[in-house]
Copies of this chain bind each other. A is one copy, B any other.
């Protein structure tokens, strides 16, 4: 397929490569030129502007946040001039933005699909992302080959793009919740003479298998937060998305509020660029450990 690809951060690069590897034609755009050059060397063509990327048959975008999507892509001129018939926004953005985007794209005859992903860059590089996809079913069908190239499984979540964003935000909210819970338990254990690592071993072999508890738990028991697999400041971004989605639909989320405050404290103490696991420092600070 002829694909425009917008946004070549760590995730975007890995995903665009998967498309190239699967034989798709990819025109890439990025604000800074280096990643474009890198991808062009691997077989992509360069788009000079987002509008050039929208001359492809379909567009995939992977930008940083609501603000960037809003300023670059939710643009009447861009969309009215586009040749693309579908746009898959795979970034973690708000359901509110998805609603605005879907309405605006529809007005210009472009199908808008929200398709945020679960998985970090290594997972993206291996084509093993979980893709949470929602939008008009014809567009979901059309984009299916691209999603297959990028993910291990595509989860169809209905016709309303916002639903996919809610799913992604919820997943990350649960992720941060699990880390906070283990952080508090680890502080309790330590203060009571139980090694957090011993506690973690029991938990991950019984109630809590899977990558989250094991992975973040190991960083917490070692209190080493670098390199940052998932930056703590991004965790705050995602928790804020949950809180805003809750506010927009009148759903109080007291646990998300608590996470926000812990994350803010971690940032105030200089952990914003470290891994999300550094939220555990607040549990220790509270206890004077």
Contacts and interface: CB of A to CB of B under 8 A. Distances in A.
A202 to B, nearest CB: 5
Contacts of A182: 174
Interface string A161-192: 01100110111011101101110110111011
Interface string A184-208: 1101110111100011011101111
Number of copies: 4
Contact of A207 (B171, B187, B188): B171
Interface string A244-255: 011101111111
Given A184-B256, A250-B288, 20 more contacts: A118-B202, A155-B202, A163-B189, A163-B193, A166-B194, A167-B189, A167-B199, A167-B202, A170-B185, A170-B188, A246-B264, A249-B287, A251-B264, A252-B260, A252-B264, A254-B254, A257-B261, A268-B288, A269-B288, A270-B288
Interface of A: 95, 118, 130, 132, 153, 155, 157-158, 160, 162-163, 166-167, 169-171, 173-175, 177-178, 180-182, 184-185, 187-189, 191-194, 198-199, 201-203, 205-212, 242, 245-247, 249-258, 260-262, 264-265, 267-270, 283, 285-289
A250 B209 contact: no
B171 A206 contact: yes
A166 B249 CA distance: 28
A174 B208 CA distance: 9
B202 A212 contact: no
A-B pairs, 6 with minimum CB distance: A177-B181, A268-B288, A250-B268, A170-B185, A257-B257, A163-B194
Give chain A's interface secondary structure class.
helix
Contact of A258 (B162, B257, B286): B257
Contacts of A173: 181, 184-185, 188
Contacts of A254: 184, 254, 257-258, 261-262, 286
